[in-house]
């Protein structure tokens, strides 16, 4: 009887430990999501996963990173700079995404209203094993711009807020833009100061020149007056 109770307690303890371990493995945010494994990263906002033994391209919803290679979309991102600059920024964004997801990593997909785009790619919010959303991590750390394509708009406000904060703090790709903005501000301040100084110097020179001119005119006038007086005195003496 005692032996049976001991066996029962051991079994109960084993089940309890197993239950706790299994609960610790799954993040609450990833429950009821589609589980897949990462194959590789294509771009800052596109990855390839293995689903049902097949490779599936997954386009991250709501975020748009610069292109990492030359294509037609580079021309649509010219606000970031010329083609070479866009690709440079795109490579940085891709590198950041690759730092978060690596081949073989388990990820979880959450779909919105539309699950695939016209190219056949899956459209999803991708969650990492620790519960963080990949889409949000990319844009909050300054490596993407918001891209809202209705009806997939579940987290659009959150993404926009993250984007604004990243720009204001100069995170990720925007650090370079922040440094450039500071340079422009300092350059503008120095330029305006230089212009004001040159203008002041020019006005001062003109003022001094005018004063000197007036002074010389006064001297010449006084000289002429004195000369006339000397002539008058000389004539008077001759007449006397």
pLDDT in 10s for each residue of the chain, 240 residues: 554 334 434 333 433 333 343 444 556 667 679 999 999 999 999 999 999 999 999 999 999 999 998 988 888 888 888 899 999 999 999 999 999 999 999 999 999 999 999 999 999 999 999 999 999 999 999 999 999 999 999 999 999 999 999 999 999 999 975 555 554 555 566 667 767 666 666 666 776 666 666 677 777 777 677 777 777 776 766 666
pLDDT of residue 10: 36
CA distance 231 to 39: 111
pLDDT of residue 77: 87
Catalytic site positions: 59, 67, 121
pLDDT of residue 181: 52
Kindly give the pairing relationship between strand 34-43 and strand 106-110: antiparallel
pTM of the model: 0.65
pLDDT of residue 3: 47
pLDDT of residue 229: 74
pLDDT of residue 190: 67
pLDDT of residue 177: 58
pLDDT of residue 238: 67
């Amino acid at each position: 009887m005692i032996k049976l109770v001991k066996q029962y307690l051991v079994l109960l303890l084993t089940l309890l430990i197993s239950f706790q371990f299994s609960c610790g493995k799954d993040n609450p945010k990833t429950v009821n999501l589609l589980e897949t494994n990462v194959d590789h990263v294509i771009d800052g906002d596109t990855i390839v996963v293995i689903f049902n033994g097949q490779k599936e391209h997954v386009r991250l919803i709501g975020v748009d990173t610069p292109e990492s290679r030359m294509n037609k979309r580079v021309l649509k991102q010219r606000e970031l700079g010329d083609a070479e600059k866009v690709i440079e920024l795109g490579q940085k964004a891709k590198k950041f995404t690759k730092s978060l997801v690596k081949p073989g990593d388990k990820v979880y997909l959450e779909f919105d209203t539309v699950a695939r785009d016209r190219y056949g790619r899956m459209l999803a919010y991708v969650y990492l094993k620790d519960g963080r959303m990949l889409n949000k991590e990319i844009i909050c750390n300054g490596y993407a711009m918001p891209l809202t394509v209705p009806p997939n708009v579940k987290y659009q406000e959150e993404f926009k807020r993250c984007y604004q904060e990243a720009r204001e703090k100069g995170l990720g790709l925007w650090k370079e833009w922040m440094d450039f903005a500071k340079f422009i501000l300092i350059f503008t301040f120095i330029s305006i100061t230089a212009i004001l100084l040159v203008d002041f110097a020019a006005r001062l020179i003109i003022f001094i020149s005018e004063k000197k001119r007036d002074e010389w005119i006064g001297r010449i006038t006084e000289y002429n007056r004195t000369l006339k007086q000397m002539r008058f005195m000389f004539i008077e003496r001759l007449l006397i």
